[in-house]
């Protein structure tokens, strides 16, 4: 595999494009190291999870473009995108990734605001007098 593999990950409003190549285990998000981009340890673990699942943390270089959403949404979008890119590299990774629940796109998103309400479901404070 000398060509890079492409994949897309989405979560909430976040979208990530993943460019996966063989390498030494370097993960770069928007031209920053992923540990610098995601300062919280649990978000770094989310990004690492697909590679740890198939035990190849030092076999692939990953370049990621992340847009939209917040940092948690972007981290989980990275997780899905990396898992999808690894499938393109080797379809034999599928059982392990599927068992870890890494191939399912989380469909939850913010509910829209309704008219006559403060938020989606919260109503304005009731005043009796």
Cα–Cα–Cα angle for 109, 114, 120, rounded to 5 degrees:
45
72 vs 51: CA distance, rounded Å: 18
Q: Residue 64 has what pLDDT?
A: 96
Q: Residue 2 has what pLDDT?
A: 63
In a domain, 77, yes or no: yes
In a domain, 82, yes or no: yes
Looking at the 3D structure of the chain, how many domains does it have?
Answer: 1
In a domain, 124, yes or no: no
CATH number at residue 60: 3.30.230.10
Each residue of 91-104: b (16+ CB within 10 Å) or e? eebeeebeeeebbe
In a domain, 123, yes or no: no
In a domain, 27, yes or no: yes
Q: Residue 12 has what pLDDT?
A: 93
Mean pLDDT in order along the chain per 10 residues (129 residues): 86 95 93 94 94 90 95 96 94 93 94 96 93
């Amino acid at each position: 595999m000398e060509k890079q593999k492409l994949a897309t990950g989405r979560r909430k409003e976040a979208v990530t494009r993943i460019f996966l190549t063989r390498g030494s285990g370097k993960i770069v998000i928007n031209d920053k190291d992923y540990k610098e981009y995601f300062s919280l340890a649990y978000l770094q673990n989310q990004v690492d999870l697909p590679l740890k699942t198939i035990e190849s943390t030092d076999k692939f270089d990953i370049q990621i473009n992340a847009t939209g959403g917040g940092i948690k949404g972007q981290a989980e979008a990275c997780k899905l995108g990396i898992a999808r890119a690894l499938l393109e590299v080797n379809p034999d990774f599928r059982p392990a990734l599927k068992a870890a629940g890494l191939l399912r796109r989380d469909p939850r998103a913010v509910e829209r605001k309704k008219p006559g309400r403060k938020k989606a479901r919260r109503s304005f404070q009731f005043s009796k007098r």
